[in-house]
């Protein structure tokens, strides 16, 4: 009988996975064709197309340069495409300002897409694939922490479709890859306690920095727990002893390959193995002769007569004086706040309290990572994330709170009130975030709106209503809509169909969880000494 239950569950997961990937692919932005560098510099591909923001362009350009030009340095046309977030190395070569991990991980998708005649779409589909894997990792972690298969899938759906993570699953950003590394590390900690699991965690720890440098901070709580499985302290009334598992010290070699790759990239691209991409001088524009034009770069090259500013370092991006305003921006503000964009995720706080009651160690780990995420980006010099849809910096926190939602929905599955509140918030959050996924992430922060209105001469929206306006006037940037669906439905109808599919799927899972006591396949979380 047990075999049949597991077999049915895997069939369910396969069908569910295919359906979710179909929705994600239906939302992925892009145009058909294999664009040349000249195409990329047109308005069609930039402002009006899928490569509207510099983080997308910077990562896409590095991938493009590696594949097409066999170089880590940008040609002049490619450098123009990347501005205003372009870097320059001491040799005067134009290079990426972003960590290289996303660009290299997107290469297989780009190559497959190029073979199929849609290279940019193939590259963007990398994010959708990682979003799907994140959904299943949330499902797996929920099952380990007191939930079941159905509520685990619901938790995963909340993360992927009911938070701003949806808008970043349709384009080429680092967020879903960073979240995958974090979730896989957490699942590995909970599921196993052996030599190879520790080696995997150290590998992921080093890889996370290659994907995005601030990931180092999010992975610190995970690394502390992992370190506790190598070295720990035992004490009694009379003695205190330090215990070390000598063989497990070898697991640190799991970090070697990502570190070597990172050092090689920094040396080849920047001329210094310890120089991070984000600390390079920034090029905002390039003149007709191919020279950089802004003062920061001129200072770095000893051009002009301006006084040099403080040297850019990774630490200089953070300021404790930004904390209060950062908290407001991430939680309360109309242009980025959780309450405005994903109110359903707040139920995850209650769920994490339930996790702490049953699995205190793992609940504490999840909360520590969330607090690190919130504190770090509340101190960040740009807590808005530039022009963005919602608070994109909190996407890892959304994933961990979604785990709490999965546990909450299991433990309160018989409560009609809890189910009703969840469904209403889920519906609203999906409707909001599907707008972002199908249209644009180029929402200005509220502090810039007055200046933009003076230039444009009309009212500029800065909440998700900007995306609703875009959907009605400009349509959808979805590749599937532009390539096929536009012949049969309007952009608003396409949006409504996708929202309906997601909400109905969530409602079916919710009804199954509340009306029927599902078989609980919940192996005990790994509570061995750390």
pLDDT along the chain (530 residues), means of 10: 52 84 95 93 89 92 96 94 91 92 97 96 96 96 92 96 97 96 97 95 97 93 94 76 88 96 95 88 86 58 42 57 87 94 97 95 96 92 90 96 96 92 97 97 89 79 93 95 94 97 94 64 46
The answer for residues whose C-beta is within 8 angstroms of residue 183's C-beta and 6 or more apart is 134, 137, 138, 141, 399
Distance CA 165, CA 337 (A): 14
* In 41-95, alpha helices (H): 54-64, 76-82
Partners of 94 in the beta sheet?
88
Taking the C-alpha atoms of residue 337 and residue 169, their distance in angstroms, rounded to an integer, is 19
Q: How many CA atoms lie within 13 A of 427 on its CB side?
A: 11
Q: Which tens digits make up the pLDDT trace of 21-59?
A: 999 999 999 999 999 999 999 998 988 889 999 899 999
142 and 113 Cβ atoms separated by less than 8 Å = no
Q: What is the pLDDT of residue 294?
A: 61
What are the start-end ranges of the E strands in 92-205?
94-96
pLDDT for 456: 73
* pLDDT at residue 235 in the model: 75
SS3 (DSSP) at 283: strand
Start-end of H helices in 412-526: 416-438, 446-456, 465-473, 479-483, 491-515
**Quick one: angle between helices 195-211 and 215-227, nearest 10?**
170
Q: Which two tokens stand for residue 373?
A: 């995420």
pLDDT of residue 315: 53
> What order of strands is seen across the sheet that includes strand 86-88?
94-96, 86-88, 282-283
74 in helix, strand or coil?
Answer: coil
Tell me how crowded residue 121 is: count the other CB atoms within 10 A of its CB: 26
- Distance between CA atoms of residues 135 and 184, nearest Å: 11
Show Cβ contacts of residue 458 under 8 Å, excluding neighbours closer than 6 positions. none
- Cβ atoms of 127 and 173 within 8 Å: the answer is yes
At 457 the pLDDT is 75
CA distance 158 to 397: 13
CA 446/CA 38 separation, integer angstroms: 34
Q: Strand 282-283 to strand 240-244: parallel, antiparallel, or no bridges (unpaired)?
A: unpaired
Map tokens 């390079």 to a residue: 280
The residue with tokens 């929202």 is: 499
pLDDT of residue 526: 55
CA 272 – CA 70 distance, rounded (Å): 20
For residue 369, give both structure tokens: 């990572």
pLDDT of residue 515: 72
Closest by Cα among 30, 16, 65 to 170: 30
Which pLDDT does position 80 carry in this prediction?
93
């Amino acid at each position: 009988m047990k075999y049949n239950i597991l077999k049915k569950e895997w069939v369910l997961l396969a069908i569910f996975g295919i359906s979710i990937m179909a929705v994600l692919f239906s939302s992925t932005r892009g145009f058909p064709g294999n664009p040349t560098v000249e195409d990329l510099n047109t308005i069609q591909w930039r402002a009006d197309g899928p490569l509207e923001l510099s983080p997308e362009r910077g990562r896409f350009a590095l991938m493009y340069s590696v594949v097409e030009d066999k170089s880590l340095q940008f040609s002049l046309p490619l450098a123009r495409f990347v501005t205003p977030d372009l870097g320059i190395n001491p040799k005067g070569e134009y290079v990426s300002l972003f960590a290289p991990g996303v660009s290299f991980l997107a290469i297989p998708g780009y190559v497959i897409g190029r073979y199929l005649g849609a290279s940019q779409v193939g590259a963007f589909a990398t994010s959708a694939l990682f979003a799907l894997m994140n959904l299943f990792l949330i499902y797996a972690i929920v099952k380990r922490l007191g939930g079941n298969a159905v509520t685990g899938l619901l938790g995963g759906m909340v993360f992927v479709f009911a938070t701003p993570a949806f808008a970043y699953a349709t384009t080429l950003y680092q967020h879903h890859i960073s979240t995958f590394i974090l979730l896989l590390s957490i699942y590995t900690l909970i599921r196993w306690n052996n030599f190879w699991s520790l080696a995997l965690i150290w590998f992921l720890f080093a890889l996370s920095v290659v994907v995005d440098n601030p990931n180092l901070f999010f992975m610190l709580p995970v690394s502390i727990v992992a370190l506790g499985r190598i070295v720990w302290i035992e004490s009694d009334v009379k003695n205190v002893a330090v215990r070390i598992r000598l063989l497990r010290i070898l697991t640190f070699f799991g970090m070697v390959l990502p570190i070597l790759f990172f050092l090689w990239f920094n040396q080849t691209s920047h001329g210094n193995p310890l120089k991070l991409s984000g600390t390079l001088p920034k090029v905002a524009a390039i003149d007709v002769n191919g020279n950089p034009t802004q003062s920061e770069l001129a200072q770095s090259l000893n051009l002009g007569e301006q006084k040099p500013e403080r040297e850019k370092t990774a630490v200089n991006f953070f300021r404790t004086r930004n904390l209060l305003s950062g908290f407001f921006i991430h939680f309360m503000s109309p242009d980025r706040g959780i309450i405005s964009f994903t109110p359903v995720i707040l139920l995850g706080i209650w769920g994490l309290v339930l996790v702490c009651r049953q699995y205190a160690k793992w609940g504490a780990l999840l909360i520590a990572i969330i607090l690190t995420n919130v504190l770090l980006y509340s101190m960040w010099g740009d807590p808005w994330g530039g022009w963005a849809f919602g608070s994109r910096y909190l996407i890892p926190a959304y994933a961990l709170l979604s785990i709490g939602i999965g546990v909450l929905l299991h433990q309160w599955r018989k409560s009609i009130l809890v189910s009703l509140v969840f469904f209403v918030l889920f519906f609203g959050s999906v409707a909001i975030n599907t707008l972002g996924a199908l249209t644009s992430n180029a929402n200005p922060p509220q502090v810039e709106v007055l200046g933009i209105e003076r230039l444009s001469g009309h009212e500029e929206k800065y909440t998700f209503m900007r995306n609703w306006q875009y959907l009605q006037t400009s349509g959808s940037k979805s590749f599937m809509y532009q390539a096929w669906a536009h012949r049969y439905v309007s952009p608003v109808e396409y949006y409504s169909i996708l929202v309906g599919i997601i909400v109905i799927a969530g409602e079916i899972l919710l009804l199954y969880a509340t009306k029927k006591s599902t078989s609980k396949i919940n192996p005990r979380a790994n509570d061995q000494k750390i």
